[in-house]
A and B are shown apart, each in its own frame.
Chain A
Amino acid sequence: MQVEPATRSRIEGLIASERVVVFMKGVRGAPQCGFSATVCRILDGLLPEYATVNVLADPALRDGIKAFSSWPTIPQLYVNGEFVGGCDILQEMLADGSLFETLGLPKPEIAVPNITISDAAAQALRLLASRSAGPLHLSIDAQFQHGIYFGPSEPGVLSLTVSGIAVEIDPLSAARANGLTLDAEARAEGPAFKIDNPNAPKNAEVRQMSVTELAQRIAASERLGLFDVRTPDERAIAHIEGARLLDSNLVERLERLDKGALLVFHCHHGGRSQRAAEHFAALGFTNVWNVAGGIDAWSQEIDPNVPRY
């Protein structure tokens, strides 16, 4: 099978553009097929950054990459311009450990991590465990996004019991979990879990912007991206003029911006927007700001016409 010369040179350009490139159905944040999703999940656990190419958006590329690689299925992983394989091969390489060398990563030391669960968290978890099946799963991806959920026991994981709670953690997450503390705060809508992980990089890159400074910068017509990370319902109640609602489409577009772009995030009080800002800082953005106090501070200090809620 021959590849059109134009398509061939595009593919060659794409695989040379980044160290790790995945040709997949959908994009990293929104895969459109289970195999593509699995590949992203594996890579998310290993790499803070990699490129994806959505073949669904381009039929010429979809057929072209199959012929180019002599490989009939999508997704396809390229590392340093070399074809590595599809989903099955990636899973096997993860299991036998060869994937680390291929990606140029040190092999993680596999040891049961030392994890602390506070009394409040243990109490909340025991209640949840009584209504759920299976152990508590703890996952930590390469960007130190933490996940906890109850579910059936899985193969190839480390099992431990902390404060009477059965915990399962996959080897990659385990390598990032030593010294982690899980705490909980009782709230009306249910317990709010808080994870403190000393292995997470400190996000000094997220800076705090007061509403006064924000107002001055807007008044000076400074070119800044101001993003509202609240829900559309909250936005209907109150919004800051010029702020754009951050939906998943916009997130994808922002992630492709120059890493020096000035990004400012706000929410209701500054908590959710801090996490959004940390996400972008972790991706390497260097000019990331959180609006301290959020729209509530804006209503009180800058514009009383913006309703409080």
Chain B
Amino acid sequence: MALKILSSPPPEPEEIARDLAAAISKALPDASVDVQIGSPGHFELAVTSSAFAGLNRVKQQQTVYAAIAHLMAGDSAPVHAIDRMTIRTP
């Protein structure tokens, strides 16, 4: 079996969760964000923001995905999938 030598250890899920929350808060300053850690690379998000008012469900989710796209891009992205996204307005 081949061993892959990692130059730096992969980020801990807690660290990725903090990055997710920070990225969403940066894009949506009034947002309250709850991140649940799932299986490796998988997360669940609950986001409450006034920015979602008047948007349909796809547009609401696109807003969040646009904010976290850098964490999901590429083959070794820290975030593989958002298993569930809950959107609320305050």
Residues in chain A within 8 A of chain B (CB atoms): 1, 63, 66-67, 69-73, 83-85, 89
Whether the pair B73, A71 counts as a contact (CB closer than 8 A) is no
- Provide a sorted-by-A list of 13 A–B residue pairs whose CB atoms are within 8 angstroms: A1-B69, A1-B70, A66-B69, A67-B69, A70-B62, A70-B63, A71-B62, A71-B65, A72-B65, A72-B72, A83-B62, A85-B58, A89-B58
Q: Does B57 contact A (CB under 8 A)?
A: yes
**3 pairs of A and B residues whose beta carbons are closest in the complex:** A70-B66, A1-B69, A70-B62
B82 on the A face (CB < 8 A): yes
Contacts of A85 in B (CB 8 A): 58
| Bound: A84/B59 CA distance, A | 9
- The residue from A63, A73, A89 contacting B57, defined by CB atoms under 8 A apart: A89
Nearest-neighbour CB distance to chain B for A64, whole angstroms, equals 11
* Cβ-neighbour of A70 out of B57, B65, B74 (below 8 A): B65
Distance of A67 Cα from B74 Cα, bound (Å) = 11
Contacts of A83 in B (CB 8 A): 58, 62
Residues of B within 8 A of A67 (CB): 69, 73
Q: A1 to B74: give the CA distance in the assembly, Å.
A: 11
Given contacts A63-B74, A67-B69, A83-B58, 14 further A-B contacts (CB under 8 A): A1-B69, A66-B69, A67-B73, A70-B66, A70-B69, A71-B62, A72-B65, A72-B69, A72-B72, A72-B82, A83-B62, A84-B58, A85-B58, A89-B57
Give chain B nearest CB distance to A80 CB in angstroms. Answer: 14
Whether A1 contacts B62 in the complex (CB less than 8 A), given A72-B81, A72-B82, A89-B57, comes out as: no
Chain A residues positioned under 8 Å from B82 (CB to CB): 72
CA distance A73 to B66 in the complex (A): 13
For the complex formed, measure the closest distance between the CB of A65 and the CB atoms of chain B, giving whole angstroms: 12
Chain B residues positioned under 8 Å from A66 (CB to CB): 69, 72-73
Q: Contact flags (1/0) for B61-90 with A, using CB distance below 8 Å?
A: 111011001101110000001100000000
Interface hub of A72, A73, A83 (most chain B Cβ within 10 A): A72
**Complex interface: chain B residues within 8 A of A63 (CB):** 73-74
Closest to B72 in A: A72
Residues of chain A with a CB closer than 8 A to B57's CB: 89
Chain B neighbourhood of A84, CB < 8 A: 58
Q: A72-B82, A73-B81 are in contact. Are A1 and B73 (CB under 8 A)?
A: yes
Closest chain B CB from A196 CB (angstroms): 42
In the bound assembly, the distance between CA atoms of A264 and B73 in angstroms comes to 47
Give the Cβ gap from A21 to chain B, nearest Cβ, in Å. 16
- Bound CA–CA A71/B68 (angstroms): 10
Instruction: Name A82's closest neighbour in chain B (CB-CB).
Output: B58
Q: Which residues of the partner chain A approach B58 to less than 8 Å between Cβ atoms?
A: 83-85, 89
Residues of B within 8 A of A72 (CB): 65, 69, 72, 81-82
Q: How far is the CB of A35 from chain B (nearest CB, A)?
A: 12
Q: Which residue of A lies closest to B70 (CB)?
A: A1
- Name the residue of chain B whose CB is nearest to the CB of A92: B57
For A69, give the chain B residue with the smallest CB separation. B62
